[in-house]
Structure 1
């Protein structure tokens, strides 16, 4: 693993709180901050990767996915053209 440096400035009160929490966790301040930042970042990234919708929207999506596929005119024309090109 290649290490990358990241510097962080805190005021005295913030540092004291982090130092106390790190001591309670039995780890260093650096490890405590690194783990807390990583956990928070993963939570945020995981939350942002989900799609959230109302029950009505979910029902509409389900009906659309389960319903019969009916292409509109431009899509039908493109599909017909693609079939002709493949045969040529």
Structure 2
């Protein structure tokens, strides 16, 4: 059985009435209704925020940068040289 955590929620009388009526229409408890609604909303938000949306122009610039020749700047070249020396030691 998965671990269970408690979450307390306070709402005003009007909010409680709305949730109670909606839960009754769904044939479920208020707790189950709120839990399901919160989980759905959280998943939508997490899904939306885990994606990067680019315009066509931005995507083309991004892919061109990925496909283009790479040349490290002086600081990165120095760091890579140091890393090669450390591996040999």
TM-score, structure 2 normalization: 0.80
CA 71–26 in structure 1, closer or farther in 2 if over 3 Å, else same: same
2: CA distance, partners of 1:35 / 1:75: 49
Provide the rounded CA distance (Å) in 1 between the counterparts of 2:6 and 2:85: 59
Q: What secondary structure is seen at the aligned counterpart in 2 of 1:50?
A: coil
My pick for the range that moved more, 43-52 or 77-86, is 77-86
Structure 1 gaps, min length 5: none
Alignment gaps of 5+ in structure 2? none
- 1:39 Cα deviation after fit: 0.9
Aligned residues: 88
| 1:38 matched to 2:39 | yes
Match of 2:25?
24
Question: Are residues 1:58 and 2:59 paired?
Answer: yes
CA drift at 1:7: 1.4
Q: CA deviation at 1:55?
A: 2.2
Aligned with 2:14: secondary structure?
helix
Give the root-mean-square deviation of aligned CA atoms. 1.8
Q: Which runs of 4+ in 1 moved over 6 A?
A: none
Q: Per-residue deviation at 1:29?
A: 0.6
